[in-house]
Each structure stands twice: as C-alpha cells, then as structure tokens.
Structure 1
C-alpha cells in the first residue's frame, strides 16, 4: 500500500504536478473547506472573559489496529490509556469541576461500553472520532460515509448521547468529509485549523452553518510525548517545558477574550509525569476570574446562537 501522503498527492493532483494545474484546479482545492466568518462572540456566558474547552481522544488500541498491527506490545500501549489514563483524567476533571469532550473511536466504545457511558454519566460529552481511527483519505466516499454514520449510531447506543460533533481521525479531511458531516447534521467539527477561535465553515465558498472549533498541534500532547521504538518518533520535550507553552496559549486567549481549546490522549497525557502538567495547567487557569469551562458542544451551540446562525 502507498503511504498516505503519496495517495493524497496522487488523488489531489489527478496525476498532474501542482505547477501544471490550471488556476481553477488549485482554487478548487483551496475552496473545498474554507474558513468563513469568525464566530468569536462579544462575550461568553455569565460574563466570562474566556472559554476553556478541554478534549481527550481515547484512541486506545485503535491506533495500531487501524494499521493491522495486532501484536500485544503495541496494543498494550493503547490499553494503558483505558486502564490507567482515563481514571486519572476523570478524577482530575472531577476535582476541578471541569467538563470535557471525549472524541471516541467506535471500536473503543465497543471494547469498553462502560467507559463510553461513564463519560456521559459524569456530565462529559462524547463525540465522533472514526470507527477504528481509519485513514479516511484512503477511503472511498461510500465507505467513509458508512463508517461515520455507523460510528454515530454506535456511540449513541453505548453512551446514551447522540454525538453533536466530530473530530476526524488524525484531523484529516478527504474530498468528501465535509459533505458527510453536513448530511449527518452535526453541530460542529473540531479538525480544521484556520483560526484560534470558532468560525463558520464554507463549502466551495457557500456558508454551511457548521461551527469549527479549531484544534492545533501545539495544543496537542501527542506531538511532544509520542514514542515509537521502530521509527524516529521520540519524545523531544520535557513535560514541564510543554506546560509553559500551554499556559502561554491560555494567557493569550484570556487577554483576547477568546477560546482556549486543548486536545489530549489518555495513553499520552495519562502518565504520571504528564498528569502533573495537566494539573498545573488547570491550577493556572483556576487562578483567573471569569473563565467558562464548557464541552465542545456547549461552546459550539453558544457561538452559533450568538451569531444568529439558527438551526
């Protein structure tokens, strides 16, 4: 099988090199899913100065499984997330009275239905994160659609909550992803990175009403702490150094009156030395007055209402 990048390049270029494209071709690619107007509100609920939306992607065993890696060693790294990381995270969130959003692959929910229900029972949100963390840009449109719809139904059945939002696996968008999200009738996406604050997504220049809650790799734990012994992927940052980046990101959002969004993974952040960093971050945020802690769905619903998008 070709590496994902090669397949994307071939599909996008239609067997032509980018410098050979006509203007309408590169414009078409750029405009497919584009940032529309900012949905940053004039103010946040209860007079809050900034909003904080924490999210966790409990990928667990699906990262190796999606690549047909079935040996116990790799699977055990993911199992750590469910066995150790999730309980630590839930306990921390409870101590600080902070709601969060958990974007969960359906296979993870099927492996541990009690985990999926445990999130919603504690007042957290469960969102779509693929079936088995598949590489959606390698899928036919019909297969991507079927897996996304199946994931939504599975999460609803197991968590007791119909998903309102999606974070695509690896934050990837195929040529068909936006259309599938619209057909599913979701409130928001959290995969695209065109702003710090919420914005409306445009499809080929047309307004969609879909709210984007943009993540960013610098606000993601995996880029700093991931370890794979068979590749050159190695942790390159001391956890407490990463804490300073995240504090600075929050401080800027607070000054600007914007959104501070975080993406973390139980099998990454859930280790002892890294949970210290998350605890430190929450304590830092807690020293600021006027912070609204919310799930991604709550943020999306609020900014959409404030912008008068309806629906």
Structure 2
C-alpha cells in the first residue's frame, strides 16, 4: 500500500508534467473549463467568500508502525514507540490547542473523525461537538477503502459513522475517505446511508451537486494546496511559508469572489495543525481573513445544505 509520502511525491510529479504540456493543449483545456463556470453566482446567505476549515481527528486510530517523521528503518517485529508519541500529540495537545483557537475567532469547523480514534478518546470527541463543531465521518480506521467489495465498504463506512454517533450523539452527514481515495461504489453507499455530502474532490473552488442514486448529493471540495499534512509534513514547509500560502490563496479567491461564488478550504491535522507554530500561523491568517468584508466561516455541513437548497448551484 502506498504511503502518504508516496502520494505527495506522485502529486508533485503530476504537477510538473502538467507544466510541461504544450501551451495549445492547456489553452484548449482552459477554454472548456471556462464554459462550466456560473457567471455572477453568489452565495445565498449574502456572503462574499466562505472559508471552510477541516480539523482531522485521526490520531489514535492509526495502524501499528504507521508512517511518521521518523526514518523508515524499524526492524520487523518491533514497535515504533517514538512514532506512537508523535500521533499521541494530536489528541493530547493538538486538538485541545486548536479548539481554543477556533473559540478565539468564533469559528466553527468540520472535524473528520476516524471511528477508532473517537472510541479511543471519547471525551475529546464529545468536547469537539459540545463546542459547536461538526462531526463528520472519516472511516472506521485507515484501511484502504477503494479496494473493498460493496458490502465490506458499506460496513466500514457505517461502523465509522456509528462510532462517532455513539460517542458524540451527532449523526455524520459528511464523509472523507483516507487520502480522498474513494471507490466506485462509495457515493452510492453514502447516499444509501443518509449522508448528504462528501469532500473527496479537488476539482473546484466552490461546491456543486451530483446525482447519486437519482438523488441530489453535494460535493464540498477539499484542498491539497492549503493542507498542513501535504505542505508542512510532506514538503517541509515552515509555518511562515504555510501562512504565506494561505494568504496568497485567500487574496486570489477574494478577488474572484466579487463576481463569482468562491469557497476557500483549509485543512489541519491533529498532530500537525495543533503544534504551537502552526497555530500561531493560523491565528495570524484568521485575523487577516476575518478583517475583510464579506468573509464568513462555515462548516461543510452548512455549505452542503446551502448548496443543495440553492437552485443556482452548479450541477454535474
């Protein structure tokens, strides 16, 4: 099974290959994409730009000897004890620190919760929901979901969501697969189980609607561009570089939002986004963004519901 670092390296190679495409092909692709934009679209609530923040609750649900910043040189038959402490930081320090940050700015986030992580740290999972944040599903564990037969995948998704509901009392309506790698049956299963949206998509900077099982189903796009595990852990960005990335992304989307419905997605992982320097960077970014006219923060559930109710939403 490919590691997260392999995924990041592959993404970099694909990006480089794209830059080497002939200009004529890129221009043609751009022209085709442009026709799919909805001109002069607006958010139904009157917002100019919506920022959607994810807080991944994964630590505690990782497999034995999971990937970590430590060298991959463990001998077979032994436990990587230092790596366990890296993950433990996520629930001991990371999420509590981020929860205080969200409170400081009055931001409500979407927490994608791995079922086994929630069962291991139920008090923390409950606190997330008690503080008013959305509990979304993120599988039962870190298993490779896209290879599962239909019924096995259905059980996997349901068990993860049931664990979240059992501990927090909240019923997840949004879903995120491990590394966004859903299978051919995933959306059908989600629709059957009562989910209303998924985030395993990076094709747009605004939500849209799909028909799944002949019913509307929302897509609230995720991000690799403003994602701490990709940039900080995978590419070794400093906290300052991450902050600059967030500001550059915001500035472009805010400019476009004068005439088009735009959404900015930002993703934090418990053991990375909850470190002191990243929280400081996030604090500076949120202060900057919140000071701009028409900027609001919404959970992905709220964005999905708004999208499903809006007759002007993009449909694919």
Task: Name the TM-score class by shorter chain.
Answer: 0.7 to 0.9
CA separation of 1:110 and 1:41: change in aligned 2, threshold 3 A: farther
Q: Residue 71 of structure 1: CA displacement?
A: 3.5
Which position in structure 2 is the counterpart of 1:281?
285
Q: Residue 72 of structure 1: CA displacement?
A: 2.6
Contact 2:41–2:312 (Cα < 8 Å) also in 1: no
The answer to which of 171-180 and 82-91 deviates more is 171-180
Contact 2:141–2:160 (Cα < 8 Å) also in 1: no
Matched, 1:261 2:265: yes
Q: For residues 115-147 of structure 1, what are the alpha-carbon distances to aligned partners after superposition, in whole Å with 9 as ceiling and x for unaligned?
A: 111111111000000101221123232221101
Q: Secondary structure at the match of 2:62?
A: helix
The counterpart of 1:127, out of the listed 121, 136, 159, is 136
> Please, what is the CA RMSD of the aligned residues?
2.5
> Structure 1 CA distance, aligned partners of 2:125 and 2:38?
30
Matched, 1:242 2:232: no
Query: Which runs of no fewer than 5 residues in structure 2 stay unpaired?
Result: 5-35, 68-77
Q: Residue 280 of structure 1: CA displacement?
A: 1.3
Matched, 1:78 2:82: no
Contact 1:56–1:100 (Cα < 8 Å) also in 2: yes
CA separation of 1:303 and 1:277: change in aligned 2, threshold 3 A: same
Q: Residue 184 of structure 1: CA displacement?
A: 1.2
Structure 1 segments of 4+ aligned residues over 4 angstroms from their partners = 2-5, 37-41, 66-70
Q: Residue 251 of structure 1: CA displacement?
A: 1.9
Q: Secondary structure at the match of 1:219?
A: coil
> Structure 2 CA distance, aligned partners of 1:3 and 1:266?
22
Contact 1:105–1:128 (Cα < 8 Å) also in 2: yes
Which position in structure 2 is the counterpart of 1:137?
146
Matched, 1:291 2:295: yes
The counterpart of 1:272, out of the listed 276, 281, 292, is 276
CA separation of 1:116 and 1:66: change in aligned 2, threshold 3 A: farther
Matched, 1:166 2:165: no
Q: So what's the TM-score if we normalise by structure 1?
A: 0.79
The counterpart of 1:189, out of the listed 189, 198, 201, is 198
Query: Which runs of no fewer than 5 residues in structure 1 stay unpaired?
Result: 6-36, 227-232
Matched, 1:213 2:217: no
Q: Residue 41 of structure 1: CA displacement?
A: 8.9
Matched, 1:101 2:110: yes
CA separation of 1:142 and 1:196: change in aligned 2, threshold 3 A: same
Q: Secondary structure at the match of 1:103?
A: strand
Q: Secondary structure at the match of 2:51?
A: strand
